[in-house]
Amino acid sequence: MKSFEHTTHASRVIFGAGTLSRLRDEVERLGGSRVLLLGGRADRAAEVLGALAVARFAEVAMHTPVEVTERVLELVREHGVDCLVSVGGGSSTNLGKALVARTGLPHLAVPTTYAGSEMTPVLGETAEGAKTTRRDPALQPRTVLYDVELTVGLPVGVSVVSGFNAMAHAVEALYSPQADPAVDAYAVDAITRFARALPLIAERPDDLDARADALTGAWLAGICLGSVEMGLHHKLCHVLGGSFGLPHAETHTVVLPHVMAFNAVAAPEAMRKIAAALGAPDAPAAVFDLAARLGAPTSLAALGDFSLSEAAALATAKPYPNPRPVTADDVLPLLGEAWRGDRPAGRPDLRRLADQVVATLGPAPNARVAELVGDLVRRLHGFVVDNDLTEDEWKAGIDFLTRTGQITTPVRQEFVLLSDVLGVSSAVDVLTNSRSPETTPSAVLGPFYVEGPPSVPSGSDLAAGLPGVPLRADVRIVDLDGQPVADAVVDVWQSNQDGFYDVQLPDLEGPVLRARLRSDDDGRLWFHTILPSAYPIPDDGPVGQLLRATGRHPYRAPHLHFMISAPGYRRLITQLFVAGGDYLDSDAVFGVKDELIVDFPGDSHRTLDFTFRIAPDRTTS
């Protein structure tokens, strides 16, 4: 379970095409009548505001220098301003926040890029070459008006780097220690949208749907930025922008894949989600490749001059949350790589490699086989990259699979057992058999079923005198309407009181604790046996080693196996678990389902009374 704290920062958000026409109403809603308009491209906003716009300031500067803020404050005082409207990218929004910090005036933001600052309570300012940030809920714009039409004219180059800036918020949110399910969902959705929208925008900058996708992504990434503290990437970009004057969004674009590559080993789950959102096996490489493909800058050298070691020292001077501990010595090579514009080191172009492998699969005679193998190849490549798999680890894996194969025989199905303990058998079982909630749930077959068990009449004793707590089992088979299913073939098998199946005890004469019975006209059958016990699955092979290596026990909760077949019905393979038995919560093969935990009442003699509901076989009707 993950505990979390989530604060939803209150702001009114209006999203759509042409929403700028509502600006005047929204200003009045905030009680504004004397507006200072901030931003160089605010002519349309000025038109809509008419007489409400009493002053304008167009020369917004990047990184929000306090000298500029002081100058604008004069305007606020001079014109008796009672409301601030910022139109533009992060710098305009930030100037609005800087003024809010000094005046407390209401602020309405009209973002025209994907910077996301409008959704945060964070203000970044620069004074004497140093960037400082502060966080205060009062700093978040009261209203945010997103007008997709305003972003259509955003040049492709700016759109792309601004999109990477937004993706950086989502990426760092996903591996933030403060992340929560809402932030995760926003972040993945934002990355998915940008991965989809940016290539479309690069091709057709006036594609309104792609623009809407990107602006929605910007809003969601902005929420991420406002909800959790950012890590190394944002710190580095603040330093490079605030102290060395590098351009904000371009710097984000160049630095992001390198920080992701650095953090990947410490945040494999986040990287998996990002890679999936980008549709690629390796998240850092995919971010780098996307930037390169869209013609965005990939090298810091192209953005400005600065001292790498000074930047590394500044970026690590104070602690902040980051999935991988970071020192100036770590940052230096990372910055060098970003300076040169190299593909992130250790992230070979595995996207192309996986693509090459998948390309060899077609045209396949069986499309489904090609699809499954292709997806498996991509996931395996992703596994190798995300976990930085070493050659020794890979060899250990191959050796494990080799030994699993070597021990496997028709009666020792080690691969099935492996699938069982990894929960894969149960996953396939759930997908295959649990689509109809009205039937008795199924459970895994297990390795101890033997074809053609001895047929016996109802009332037989399956235990043949074996020691154990006597059990009388009464079973009924009905259809989905509760009508009896007559002449159903019911195979039953179970372990003895020491937890062994007959096939595991070579000295035993003939089959015991297994039988085939048939239901009567009322769908009923009954038999005597003994109470099943918990038992360890075979753990003297590679699967047992795997369980020990991962600190797991090999035990199954006590259960009786059933296989029920009747003409015209879907075969049901399931198990009934003894309520109160051991390991119900930690069954080694994940076979326990709540509906299959059943009371076996009694003391020295126990009973079982259970009705199985089976479904018609739609494939035969």
- Can you give the binding site for Fe ion, defined by CB under 5 A? 446
Q: Which of 175, 501, 555, 583 is catalytic?
A: 501
Q: Which of 142, 381, 561, 570 is catalytic?
A: 561
Residue of minimal CB distance from ligand BEZ? Answer: 446
Does 146 qualify as catalytic in the annotation? no
CA 274/CA 59 separation, integer angstroms: 37
Quote the least distance from Cβ 435 to ligand BEZ, whole Å.
Answer: 22
- Which span (99-107, 117-125, 346-354, 442-450) binds ligand BEZ, by CB under 6 A? 442-450
Q: Where do the DSSP E strands lie in 390-500?
A: 470-478, 489-493
Please report, as residue ranges, which positions from 576 to 605 form the binding site for ligand BEZ (by CB under 6 A).
589
Quote the least distance from Cβ 592 to ligand BEZ, whole Å.
Answer: 11
Q: Which residues sit opposite 578 in a β-bridge?
A: 598
402 CB-contact burial (10 Å; exposed 0-12 / middle 13-18 / buried 19+):
exposed
- Return the residue of 195, 254, 287, 444 that touches ligand BEZ, per CB under 6 A: 444
Does 559 qualify as catalytic in the annotation? yes
Quote the least distance from Cβ 511 to ligand BEZ, whole Å.
Answer: 15
- Which span (70-78, 103-111, 175-183, 445-453) binds ligand BEZ, by CB under 6 A? 445-453
Kindly write out the interface string for residues 388-417 of this chain, putting x where it contacts ligand BEZ by CB under 6 A and - elsewhere.
-----------------------------x
Quote the least distance from Cβ 332 to ligand BEZ, whole Å.
Answer: 52
> Rounded to the nearest 10 degrees, how much is the dihedral formed by the CA atoms of 507, 509, 512, 517?
150
Name, in order, each residue with C-beta under 8 angstroms of 69's C-beta and a sequence gap of 6 or more.
95, 98, 99, 102, 125
How many residues bind to ligand BEZ according to rule CB under 6 A?
9
Among residues 110, 103, 144, 104, which one has the least CA distance to residue 10?
144
Name, in order, each residue with C-beta under 8 angstroms of 31's C-beta and a sequence gap of 6 or more.
82, 83, 106
- Return the residue of 205, 245, 333, 447 that touches ligand BEZ, per CB under 6 A: 447
According to the binding rule CB under 6 A, does residue 283 interact with ligand BEZ? no
Does 561 qualify as catalytic in the annotation? yes
* Partner from Fe ion, ligand BEZ, none binding residue 240, C-beta < 5-8 Å depending on class: none
Name, in order, each residue with C-beta under 8 angstroms of 542's C-beta and a sequence gap of 6 or more.
400, 403, 404, 407, 414, 418
| Terminal-to-terminal C-alpha distance of the chain | 45
- Which span (150-158, 446-454, 472-480, 515-523) binds ligand BEZ, by CB under 6 A? 446-454
Given strand 489-493, what is the order of strands in its sheet?
Answer: 514-518, 489-493, 559-565, 572-578, 597-598
Does 556 qualify as catalytic in the annotation? yes
Q: Which of 258, 351, 514, 556 is catalytic?
A: 556
Q: Phi and psi of 83, rounded to 5°?
A: -160, 140
Shorter beta-carbon distance to ligand BEZ: residue 221 or 557:
557
CA 245/CA 239 separation, integer angstroms: 9
Shorter beta-carbon distance to Fe ion: residue 141 or 558:
558
Does 555 qualify as catalytic in the annotation? no
Shorter beta-carbon distance to Fe ion: residue 258 or 559:
559
What does the block give as tokens for 67?
């000298």
Quote the least distance from Cβ 556 to ligand BEZ, whole Å.
Answer: 5
DSSP string, 132-185: EEEE-GGGS-SEEEEEHHHHHTS-HHHHHHHHHHHHHHHHHHHT-TT--HHHHH
Kindly write out the interface string for residues 535-574 of this chain, putting x where it contacts ligand BEZ by CB under 6 A and - elsewhere.
--x------------------x------------------
CA angle 497, 540, 548 (to 5 degrees): 100
- Return the residue of 219, 288, 448, 562 that touches ligand BEZ, per CB under 6 A: 448
CA 422/CA 407 separation, integer angstroms: 18
Shorter beta-carbon distance to Fe ion: residue 226 or 446:
446
Among residues 29, 36, 34, which one has the least CA distance to residue 12?
29
* Active site amino acids: 501, 535, 556, 559, 561
**Residues of the shown chain interacting with ligand BEZ in the complex, contacts defined by CB under 6 A:** 417, 420, 444, 446-448, 537, 556, 589
